[in-house]
Amino acid sequence: MMAKSEIELKNFFIFSSSYESKEGEEYNKVLYYYPPTDDINTQVNNVGLVEAIIKFTGNFKPSGPLNSLHTLKKRQLYFEPEPNYWMVITINLPFINKGSNESTVVEYIEEDVHDTIYKAVLKQAYAMYRLFSGTYTSTEREYSITALRNKFEHFYTAYLKTLNLSNCDILNVFSGIHFLPLDKQNFLNVQCFINALECNYPIIEYVSFLFNDSLIWSGIEPDDTQIIYQYLISTLLPANIETELQGGSIPRNPSSPFASLHYGRFITGPTNLKTAHTIGKVPKIFLNNEANPSVYYFIVYRALNATICLFVNGGVDLTVELFKELDAFMGQRLSSIASDIGEYCTRSIIPPSSSDTSPRFIYFNKLNLAYKSTIHLDNRQSGNVSCGKELVQIMADMNSRKESLSFAGETIVKTMNDYWVVGKVSNLREFYVALQHKNASLIDISDEVKKICDTELKGIFFHPM
């Protein structure tokens, strides 16, 4: 079998079209460029070519800017997150070497790279920067263009190393949030804990609560929750998961010597409260960027599999004593709540079937950013999927063409290896499912999809076809 190359990043750069430069000073427009090994002439030429393409195509598409450029070997995507600031990513297409040693032909696989997916990667790169540093415009206005370049260098050089372009798929387009449904008692326990925390510590303005990689509650705006959730499950929590204490549920017997212990620790803040003399690293983040951006300390605390995020006003002076108080207040309570939720999940949540022939689906609701997937075996966009990648690519194709379905519609595709892929769109909800039925008809597939919707998505309304 011929080996296929991976999707690779060729370059990534940010430039500002507002810097009109004299001849010989074109490099002033380049605010960030990766890889740094490309010489200055290459950087200037690449930026100049993109700027010329954008201006030229603007004459033919006045309704909006150019999104992408397709060539035989590469794909280039453009995003203007703020006026006059452009982000550009260039991707090497995967290829296969065909033929014998004497006559080898290189075939580039264009269909493996979807514009909607990698445009979403660009948008997420901007949203992640904005979360920690604010907007490009505000940084340049409050500091200088040099400070903006330095921030880009510090942030994007590290961020790009975390990207695995080969694992990007339709989840990047959705950038959704996986919610964990709880019974009334456990949800009430979480809500009471959050209310008590906010009442006892007024400096805490918002709280978010997660269990494993699933969100249970968030007090911040959905757009902010979306990017913070992605940061937590893709970067912060995986980096700290190996160091947290391991163990099962906390013993519920009051006489147990473990009853007075807790398993909590700060992920951002002091690593060891007993010996800490400083608060350690507590990042500041920018929320409500669209309207009136506010700065908050981002304090993350974890006990067993539960994670609580505290958003503290950025003008408050944090002290080691405050962290000790928070630890004393949260540790045992959060450990107990995490144990109860873990026991509930063990009893009530049925894992998806591991059979190769079982239907696989992904559901997304744009209204609340919720998604549910039996295709992805984790929520971290690690490329760990339970069906063939070609099926996920078909779903991405359907998603890119959903505008043609208008308010509601359905698309059905049959593959050469007897898989059926169905896409349903209705009321800003999307549902994609892959089934394997060799001799099924369209009616059989439609009935099967309806059964899956009734079983897995109870209470979800799909407009009748």
- Residue 426 β-bridge partners: 408, 429
Q: Which region among 121-125, 198-202, 294-298, 407-411 has the lowest average model confidence (pLDDT)?
A: 407-411
Has residue 333 got a pLDDT over 90?
yes
Domains and CATH numbers, the chain: 4-165 (3.30.450.60), 184-245+261-348 (3.30.450.30), 360-457 (no CATH)
Question: Whole-prediction pTM value?
Answer: 0.89
Phi-psi group of 314: left, alpha or beta (phi > 0 → left; psi -120 to 50 → alpha; rest → beta): alpha
Q: At 252, is the pLDDT very low, low, confident or very high (cuts 50, 70, 90)?
A: very low
Give the max Cα distance, the chain. 80
pLDDT in tens, 37-81: 999 999 999 999 999 999 888 777 766 778 899 999 999 999 999
Taking the C-alpha atoms of 49, 50, 53 and 54 in order, what is their torsion angle to the nearest 10 degrees? Answer: -150
pLDDT tens across 121-165, in order? 999 999 999 999 999 998 898 889 999 999 999 999 999 998 999
Cβ neighbours of residue 258 under 8 Å, at least 6 residues apart? 250, 251
Of 53, 54, 50, 92, nearest in space to 71 by CA: 92
Q: Does residue 66 contact residue 57 with C-beta atoms inside 8 Å?
A: yes
